[in-house]
Amino acid sequence: MDRKTLEAHIASRKSLLCVGLDPVIDRLPEGISRDVNGVVEFCKQIIDATLEYCVAYKPNLAFFESLGPKGFEAFAKTRAHIPDTHFVIADAKRGDIGNTAKRYAEAFFNHFSCDALTVAPYMGRDSVEPFLVENNWAIVLGLTSNQGSEDFEQQKLVTGEFVWERVISQCVQWGTPENLMLVVGATKPEAIKRIRELAPQTFLLVPGIGAQGGDLEGVLKHGCIKGGGLLINSTRGIIYKSSGTDFAEAAASEAKSLRDQMAAWL
Amino acid sequence: MDRKTLEAHIASRKSLLCVGLDPVIDRLPEGISRDVNGVVEFCKQIIDATLEYCVAYKPNLAFFESLGPKGFEAFAKTRAHIPDTHFVIADAKRGDIGNTAKRYAEAFFNHFSCDALTVAPYMGRDSVEPFLVENNWAIVLGLTSNQGSEDFEQQKLVTGEFVWERVISQCVQWGTPENLMLVVGATKPEAIKRIRELAPQTFLLVPGIGAQGGDLEGVLKHGCIKGGGLLINSTRGIIYKSSGTDFAEAAASEAKSLRDQMAAWL
């Protein structure tokens, strides 16, 4: 999906919402079989219930991979259930170079037909460029909100930049606002202000709203640009809102509530 | 596999060799069907041919993932063909935190029974610790040999360290020489000298020997410690040595030649 189409969906649905799909067999709600078929059924029902309130889905590969080869079939079925009207992010945080990176791009962009893949930047330019292919997107880890972000991301370089600032300023040179996005944690809305200086036109994927305590208002205030410029992700707050048979309605209601707060800004 | 067992295999086989498995359908040799079954058959024959010369195998997940769900079955079958006498590294460069990282650990350590998983350090401590489980190993990217390593890894921090030096000095505090290894590119043997100061007891996984032009002699000289302390990987130089029906014999001969050079040091 290209940027123009993504922005058209944002405008028509008045939403920046991305729904994360982290299916855990032990947490599947009442009425869903606790097996790999249940994982697919759960994801399908969540997708059907939230379609009108969101513009993107972000299946997290770890939750499918932990089920082995059948988990990948479940991922393929889940992905196939998401219509063309929605942007699909494979949250796989791949990070490798050259031929290996090309194979990952092939896996997620061609085989699984995802629009975007999350990518780790540690190995530098040659770990990002293979994912910058037309009509697909690399979503590179910029500044994350976990405690460990202090260990390397928030270290200061002799140039005066933080490591994460250098990652962002380099990445926006390698890619364009049409094929590269950045991951920025929602618990650091002040940092989003700085990121907008470094990457004024780049879409930001912002996880951490809801269960992780991110500040939606702050993210919108500092991150929103013409056309949107944000994909704001919520996972557990939506998909595990209810563990009863009403889980899909509860997910819809939570997604609608987040969408309504976003609509006020758009 | 624990360190003691790995070191016993190194001693008895007089080898530090790790054989990388990057199967590409278009490069499968004569006599092997060019499909996912051929991928498994190719890997099995390479494994059978090289067993006595190596101590580890490193299947690269990208090459299996690019074949979709059937590729994961091929990975499972390939892994199952490697006997308990050999250390198995899933080269997947996963890098995520918390629950997600735990799922990746579950996928590779439990579901696929691998001994070790390569891990990207960008997100810090909470992206490494979930992989430090008993009798399994996190192999963290330290200093890689690709050109992009200049972009972030080789940047200097205000503390005077390079980013890669900080990554290494932190990682050896988080893990132990019994559950953490480091990836260090073979094209930088002088850097291995410095890495041995920071991580005197840590096993180093050194890719880049053979096709990528790494310097085996330099790696052994600066990296080898009591018990070995090195897993030296070669992929293309072994598995694609011949594209004819003699590919397995050619792989064996190349593996033997590398092993003989290593044996001289051990």
Across the interface, do B103 and A62 touch by the CB < 8 Å criterion? yes
Q: Are A206 and A214 in contact (CB under 8 A)?
A: yes
* pLDDT tens string B183-194: 999 877 789 999
* pLDDT tens string B68-80: 989 999 999 999 9
Q: Which domain holds residue A241?
A: 3-263
Number of Cα atoms under 13 Å in the Cβ half of residue A20: 28
Instruction: Supply the pLDDT for residue A213.
Output: 62
CA distance B151 to chain A (A): 5
Instruction: Supply the pLDDT for residue A190.
Output: 81
Across the interface, do A152 and B76 touch by the CB < 8 Å criterion? no
Across the interface, do A107 and B65 touch by the CB < 8 Å criterion? yes
| A212: pLDDT strictly greater than 70 | no
C-alpha span between B214 and B230 (Å, rounded): 14
Instruction: Supply the pLDDT for residue B188.
Output: 74
For A76: left if phi > 0, alpha if psi spans -120 to 50, otherwise beta; the answer is alpha
* pLDDT tens string B134-144: 899 999 999 99
C-alpha span between A117 and A93 (Å, rounded): 7
Q: What are phi and psi of A177, to 5 degrees?
A: -65, 0
Q: Provide the mean pLDDT of chain A.
A: 95
* pLDDT tens string A232-255: 999 999 999 999 999 999 999 999
Q: What value does the mean pLDDT take over residues A123-136?
A: 95
Q: What three-state secondary structure class fits B142?
A: strand
Residue from A14, A44, A70, A93 carrying the catalytic annotation: A93
Residues of A in contact with B183 (CB under 8 A): none
Across the interface, do A68 and B94 touch by the CB < 8 Å criterion? no
What is the pTM assigned to this prediction? 0.96
Tens digit of pLDDT at every position of chain B (266 positions): 999 999 999 999 999 999 999 999 999 999 999 999 999 999 999 999 999 999 999 999 999 999 998 999 999 999 999 999 999 999 999 999 999 999 999 999 999 999 999 999 999 999 999 999 989 999 999 999 999 999 999 999 999 999 999 999 999 999 999 999 999 998 777 899 999 999 999 999 999 887 666 689 999 999 999 999 999 999 999 999 999 999 999 999 999 999 999 999 88
Across the interface, do A125 and B147 touch by the CB < 8 Å criterion? yes
Q: What value does the mean pLDDT take over residues A137-146?
A: 96
- Interface size, chain A vs chain B, as Cβ–Cβ contacts under 8 Å: 195
Q: What is the percentage of chain A residues whose pLDDT exceeds 70?
A: 98
Closest to B74 (Cα-Cα) out of B21, B110, B138: B21
Give the A window 63-102 contacts with B, CB below 8 Å. 63, 65-73, 75-76, 93-101
Across the interface, do A120 and B125 touch by the CB < 8 Å criterion? no
ipTM for the predicted complex:
0.95
Give the B window 153-212 contacts with A, CB below 8 Å. 153, 155-159, 163, 166-167, 170
C-alpha span between A46 and A237 (Å, rounded): 12
Q: Which residue of B has its CA nearest to A25?
A: B103
- Identify the CATH number of the domain in which residue B56 sits: 3.20.20.70
Query: Which one of B95, B103, B150 has the shortest CB-CB distance to A124?
Result: B150
B197: which residues sit within 8 A by CB, 6+ positions away? Answer: none
| A214: pLDDT strictly greater than 90 | no
**Interface test with chain B among A27, A58, A65, by most B beta carbons within 10 Å:** A65
Please spell the DSSP secondary structure of A167-205, one letter per residue. HHHHHHHHS-TTTEEEEE-TT-HHHHHHHHHH-TT--EE
C-alpha span between B155 and B177 (Å, rounded): 26
A229: which residues sit within 8 A by CB, 6+ positions away? Answer: A201, A202, A203, A204, A223
Q: Are B97 and A120 in contact (CB under 8 A)?
A: no
Q: What three-state secondary structure class fits B158?
A: coil
Cβ–Cβ contacts within 10 Å for residue A48, how many? 13
Q: Are A125 and B148 in contact (CB under 8 A)?
A: yes
Pure H helices in B113-188: 163-174
Secondary-structure percent of chain A, ordered helix, strand, coil, rounded to 5: 45, 20, 35
Number of Cα atoms under 13 Å in the Cβ half of residue A243: 6
Q: What value does the mean pLDDT take over residues A96-108?
A: 94
C-alpha span between B234 and B256 (Å, rounded): 12
Instruction: Supply the pLDDT for residue B212.
Output: 61
Domain tally, chain A = 1
Could you tell me the CA-to-CA distances from A73 to B72, B109, B146 in Å, in that order? 10, 20, 33
Residues of A in contact with B70 (CB under 8 A): 69
Q: Which residue of A has its CA nearest to B74?
A: A69
Give the B window 99-118 contacts with A, CB below 8 Å. 99-101, 103-104, 106-107, 111-112
Query: Which one of A62, A70, A121 has the shortest CB-CB distance to B104?
Result: A62
B32: Cα separation from own chain's centroid? 25
Active site residue B93: yes
- Residues A5, A9, A15, A16, Cα dihedral to 10°: -20
| A219: pLDDT strictly greater than 70 | yes
Across the interface, do A146 and B97 touch by the CB < 8 Å criterion? yes
Burial class of residue A113 in the structure, from the number of CB atoms within 10 Å of its CB (0-12 exposed, 13-18 middle, 19+ buried): middle
Across the interface, do B148 and A95 touch by the CB < 8 Å criterion? no
Instruction: Supply the pLDDT for residue A204.
Output: 98
